[in-house]
Amino acid sequence: VPELPEVELARRVLARELEGARVERVVVADERLDAVALGGLVGTRGVKVERRGKWLRLTFARKRTEVFVFAHLGMSGRWLVADAGAPAARHERVRLEVARARWKTALLYTDVRRFGRVLVAPADFEAWSELGPDPLLEGTDPERLHAALGARRVAIKVALLDQRLLAGVGNIHATEALWRAKIDPRSRADALTLPDVRALVKGIRATLTLGLRSQQGDEPAYVQDGAANRFKVYDRTGPCPRCGTNLVKIVLGGRGTTYCPGCQRRIR
DNA sequence: AACGGAACCTGAAAGC
DNA sequence: TGCTTTCAGGTTCCGT
């Protein structure tokens, strides 16, 4: 469910609740998670919560040593804030009960499909250190991205989903960015010129920034939640909002992809 | 190294 | 009203 904007929202909530708080109780309710390692967090203090792409890194400290927890929301993960001692949430997998001063809260990790991860690992954990630049943290250097795309013969949409190239762009924002840049998602990655990549980088930035702006409060805003679809073409059918041509939906790299055959140019 | 496809999971919605 | 199929905003593994 989550892409960069939703993960950033989770980061803010976790940072607010965790930083400076002491871990009092840990409950793990998923046999594929390491209950022993996570249980070892009891007695530590939350130090900071960082994000790179769609990964979160939670730093805890016990005396002078640091412990890292890496968390990924997968397709259906969420972090909820509840009162300490609140009954288990639906699909709750991990509960961190924390206290600061005399204030206690519970951070509940819920995940219907269980594609998400919550693991204790060293700071140089592979999936984290191999991430490409984060478009909103370091920004995206068009020349560097252009060079990297030159080695890829896959569709540009598929390349955008490779987190080692660029961290944080998922299916929605890849779809949106390509529409904004007027590039057909089926275009081969190595066919894009530097000006094409510049337009794409602008599109990525625009759609992620808009996504971030639309996140209000503690709860991520999703299309399904009854709210109006805030995207230009994702999950839409009918006329293109820019040129009026009917949108088309195809499958690329196993993922649903919507584009406008009227104004998104196929680069060859 | 890169590629296409299957696998990992559950549940809601659409199709029949 | 059921039963079946499809689809979902992610990553990883496996055989070419």
| A175 pLDDT tier (thresholds 50, 70, 90) | very high
Q: What is the pLDDT of residue A109?
A: 98
What digits encode the pLDDT tens for the residues A129-162?
999 999 999 999 999 999 999 999 999 999 999 9
Q: Identify the pLDDT of residue A224.
A: 59
Vertex A6 angle, CA A2 and A7, to 5°: 85
Listed by range, residues with Cβ under 7 angstroms from strand C are: A 1-3, 5-6, 53-55, 72, 74-75, 113, 115, 127, 161, 163, 170-172, 211, 220, 222-224, 235, 254-256
The 3-state secondary structure of A27-78, one letter per residue:
EECCCCCCHHHHHCCCCCEEEEEEEECCEEEEEEEECCEEEEEEEECCCCEE
CA pair distance A16, A211, nearest whole angstrom: 21
Distance CA A171, CA A177 (A): 10
Amino acid A222: pLDDT: 66
Residue A19, pLDDT > 90, answer yes
Please report which confidence band the pLDDT of residue A223 belongs to, taking 50, 70 and 90 as the band edges. low
This prediction has a pTM of 0.96
- Whole-number distance in Å between A193 CA and B12 C1': 42
A53: the nucleotide nearest its CA (via C1') is: C10
Distance A255 CA to C15 C1' (A): 21
Give the pLDDT band of residue A218 (cuts 50, 70, 90).
confident
Band the pLDDT of A1: cuts 50, 70, 90: confident
Amino acid at A180: R
Question: What is the rounded average pLDDT for all residues in chain A?
Answer: 95
Query: Does position A215 have pLDDT exceeding 90, yes or no?
Result: no
Which residue has better confidence, A215 or A77?
A77
Q: Is the pLDDT of residue A226 over 70?
A: no
Nucleotide with C1' nearest the A254 CA: B5
Rounded (5°) CA angle A100-A104-A105: 115
Residue A221 has pLDDT above 80, yes or no: no
Catalytic residue list of A = 2-3, 54, 255
Question: What percent of chain A lies above the pLDDT cut of 70?
Answer: 97
CB of A76 within 8 A of CB of A30?
no
Tens-digit pLDDT profile for residues A157-169: 999 999 999 999 9
Res. A228 pLDDT band, cuts 50 70 90: confident
Residues whose C-beta lies under 7 Å from strand B: A 32, 75, 91, 112-115, 151-154, 158-159, 189, 253-254
The 10s digit of each residue's pLDDT in A40-94 is 999 999 999 999 999 999 999 999 999 999 999 999 999 999 999 899 999 999 9
Q: CA(A136)–C1'(B14) in Å?
A: 37
